[in-house]
Amino acid sequence: MTTSNTPQDRLKRAAARAAIDHLLPGEVVGVGSGSTVNFFIEELGARRNQFPTAVSSSSGSTERLRAQGINVLDLNEVIAAGRRIPVYVDGADEINASLQMVKGGGGALTREKIVAAASERFVCIVDRSKWVECLGRFPLPVEVIPMAVELVCARLRLIGGVPTVREGKVTDNGNLILDVAGLSITQPDLLEAEINQWAGVVTVGLFARQPASVALVATPEGVEERRAAGAAPATR
């Protein structure tokens, strides 16, 4: 049970609760990671009869889901059985008006991108502090194979980044996280494609080529449902 109750926590919980209306009862729920998602997991647990199964994006979320009595399925088994994951719910470190995101503040970006890719819709739950005009103020997380850290750092410096290795963090996949400051991310989809194809990079924390389907942005006045400008409703 999440006990802290700051004004920001209340917004996170409001966004998390609003996500419940986007789920399909009886179907597998894709679950992200982070403090906002932790509130979502609590909301899900309170409705476990309607939503008994999930696919998780991190060991931390798996543990919390199981503590709520939710059955966590292996993604490969779900796909092999031809089952759907209609909705993936996750937070973000930053999100823009095109619903492109920076993610990975918790270091779970690779599994988050995998479960998001396996899901039909991405519902992003954030408090209003995450809504930005231009991505890049939050240092961009990049998951890297340990032997390639210096190689990838050198390439990041060439494009104007200032990378630091996240201290004490080993991902669920046994890799390291670089946090890259100083990047001005004017074309998130191009930067995502570029960094992703460098040798040694597992995943860059830009979720731009597959943005969210909808953002539930919690403000003190209520939760706003925002879609990408020009996007058809309920598509991804």
* Residues carrying an active site annotation: 112
Which segments of 101-148 does DSSP mark as H helices, in order?
A: 109-118
107 binds ligand 5RP (CB under 6 A): yes
Q: 115 with 75: CB under 8 angstroms?
A: yes
Q: How far is Cα of residue 24 from the mean position of the Cα atoms in its chain?
A: 20
By CB under 6 A, name the one of 13, 55, 85, 105 that touches ligand 5RP.
105
Residue in the block written with tokens 């917004």: 11
Which tokens belong to 36? 């906002």
Q: 65 with 54: CB under 8 angstroms?
A: yes
Q: Which of 196, 36, 230, 171 is nearest to 117 (CA)?
A: 196
109 binds ligand 5RP (CB under 6 A): yes
Burial class of residue 224 (count of CB atoms within 10 Å of its CB; 0-12, 13-18, 19+): middle
203 binds ligand 5RP (CB under 6 A): no
How far is it, in rounded angstroms, from Cα 14 to Cα 7? 11
30 binds ligand 5RP (CB under 6 A): no
106 binds ligand 5RP (CB under 6 A): yes
Nearer to ligand 5RP, 174 or 233 (CB): 174
Q: How far is Cα of residue 59 from the mean position of the Cα atoms in its chain?
A: 14
Number of residues that bind ligand 5RP (CB under 6 A): 17
By CB under 6 A, name the one of 30, 36, 61, 175 that touches ligand 5RP.
36
By CB under 6 A, name the one of 30, 32, 188, 211 that touches ligand 5RP.
32
By CB under 6 A, name the one of 43, 90, 143, 179 that touches ligand 5RP.
90
Least distance from C-beta 194 to ligand 5RP, angstroms?
20
**Interface map 42-71 toward ligand 5RP (x if CB under 6 A):** ------------------------------
Which positions touch ligand 5RP (CB under 6 A)?
32-36, 90-93, 103-109, 112
